[in-house]
Chain A
């Protein structure tokens, strides 16, 4: 319980001239994110949003350049050794393990849990609105609740950086709104650095202090949210918002096609 109460500040994240190539395509990321901030990563499909998160998380290895978290070079560290948690669009849970076990894996990858761990898990589940669902299997809870389980695991892992790869994209508007509220609350409590990929301008506006806009595997623009959405926002971003708004009207809400 003390773990939950123990507030830890976020850590700064930096990509220093990171070059990544995938087949023919080549991407260059040079970026610094302040500790404790919330940054939205936006851009058209294929612009490298998920790749950027995967590089920070350690699922992709850069060809050159350095990735720094809290000032330390983590370029060669395996994902589990990096001080971060990540929530994916789907497949965040092991389907054959119940909700509590899925959260517990955030404490011990061998699922050997102490009484203290169990208390922390219980509290994290209560905090994310999952009290009483500890022993359900993932298929026995709703899609929104599955993402809540993933957030509960983020809480018990308690790492200074949180990466969100469109985890709410497949939820309906009201549910998505709830989940964004939950993320905002958790951020207010913990102060971790949050990087999130989104296609929804209103999500970015609601949550993010900063926006990083990617185009063709490069950072095309970055800056404060207010500035981005203001009259003098970057040209490329305004064009993108316009096209998204157009397609939003016809499709209801965007879902990443993978």
Chain B
């Protein structure tokens, strides 16, 4: 509507971004379908009893993980919400954000260092049970890891939901003399029940597509999920037909979950925007206060445990020697370069889609949305249906005849991780862009501010912070990823997570612990730095 040329440019950017996503997904699909077509019987034959067992385990572990994460999370969130003023509350909530930024492989090592056969707790557990502690491998290990990631996430989302209760309702509740019971029944439970399908669905989705955890903590045919089976089919058995069958199943499964999630209106990127809890008086009795304190302390110990174990095990490693090792240095450099490129790409693609969507919305104003606008709106969400392993598998199969497929590792890692981070980056960028556009669109049109002037004077100052946030998130995600690189990695191209996995595989546990500490600190530093940069840019 306003300033027609500028609008067109934003739409062009959106088309380019959508095309990039389409090529990435389309190429993978092409590889899968071409393989399926050329070896139809092989793909069909892959649907055997073993595969049924894998599907069953994939679903079973996801169901258990979801229940074990969401139910305690409700207790913890309620406890936190009942005591808005207690010291350390915001610190705890901040700490609950750490697992989200922590690479899965780092968490897996932390859990092994704590609950593993040779972990810090092995002695106590052996003494308690009277027999040698077998270690948290297989289903138990997977569950512990999934709860470690998802309990804090679900807690934050529930707290966010509870924070939406208007202050007047709390005042009313305390005026009516509601104690814990009635207050839960009439105020807290309705809000949490409304939020639960979305939160549980998100956790289920994350568990069903979890790769690294199952790869490192699962083991053997009894504890394998579809994603890990795809990886094994390609890297070890080299059975493309089987990989195709597994991949199509995985896509089907996630598509169903995402469709159900979308129906529930869930926030599939799962980042909680915690507002400062409103000051409110909630009288908890002494007994309740003690119980709440206990719940919070237990959750805190459970979440902090693996993190502390990572630190202690890492410090035990020969860090000096590791730091001098050329393989480690090269892997670090490779990781950083790939993560930076990936994050840049992710932010550019996300911003393009955000701008195009807004421009199309302004142009339309009434009536139904065009296909283009709907794609710009939710197009990035499609990548959630297609886990990185699946995209990687498709391209791996497509390109396996073109010489050395492992040399394509850098391109694949950058592209896939960039697209995977897009839903998160868009979540960071879009509200700020839309709000700024709402305020500035007419003014820019009136004053003739467009193109580069508009970006420099109007958009950049407003978007700096969300862009930094999106960049940091994408970079941390890419840095810690062990999906695509597990397929495409080789001695020639190693990232830190890949090297970590290799050291674990060759039982150099100390080295792995040291690398995990390095990787974990890198990711945390990034998130913290970006947060700080963003806040400073805001002032």
Contacts and interface: CB of A to CB of B under 8 A. Distances in A.
Contacts of A23: 366-367
A106 interface: yes
Contact of B448 (A57, A59, A95, A109): A109
A81 B448 contact: yes
Contacts of B443: 88, 91-92, 94
Contacts of A106: 447
Contact of A60 (B1, B4, B458): B1
A110 to B, nearest CB: 4
Given A59-B442, A78-B445, A105 B1 contact: no
Interface string A86-104: 1010011011110000000
Nearest to B460: A96
Contacts of A58: 2, 445
A95 B1 CA distance: 23
Interface centre among A78, A85, A91 (most CB of B within 10 A): A78
A88 B448 contact: no
A105 B2 contact: no
Nearest to A81: B448
B4 A78 contact: yes
A61 interface: yes
Nearest to B448: A80
A88 B438 CA distance: 13
A129 B2 CA distance: 32
Nearest to B461: A96
Given A78-B445, A88-B442, A97 B1 contact: no
Given A94-B440, A96-B462, A105 B4 contact: no
Contacts of A88: 442-443
A173 B366 CA distance: 36
A236 interface: no
A126 to B, nearest CB: 22
Nearest to A92: B443
Nearest to B452: A110
B439 A109 contact: no
Interface in B354-383: 365-367
A110 B454 CA distance: 8
A57 B446 contact: yes
A23 to B, nearest CB: 4
Interface in B416-469: 438-440, 442-443, 445-450, 453, 457-458, 461-462
A250 B234 CA distance: 76
Nearest to A97: B457
Interface centre among B442, B446, B461 (most CB of A within 10 A): B446
B3 interface: yes
10 contacts: A22-B365, A61-B1, A78-B4, A78-B448, A79-B3, A85-B446, A88-B442, A91-B443, A94-B440, A110-B453
Nearest 9 CB-CB pairings of A with B: A80-B448, A109-B449, A79-B445, A110-B453, A96-B461, A23-B366, A91-B439, A109-B448, A79-B446
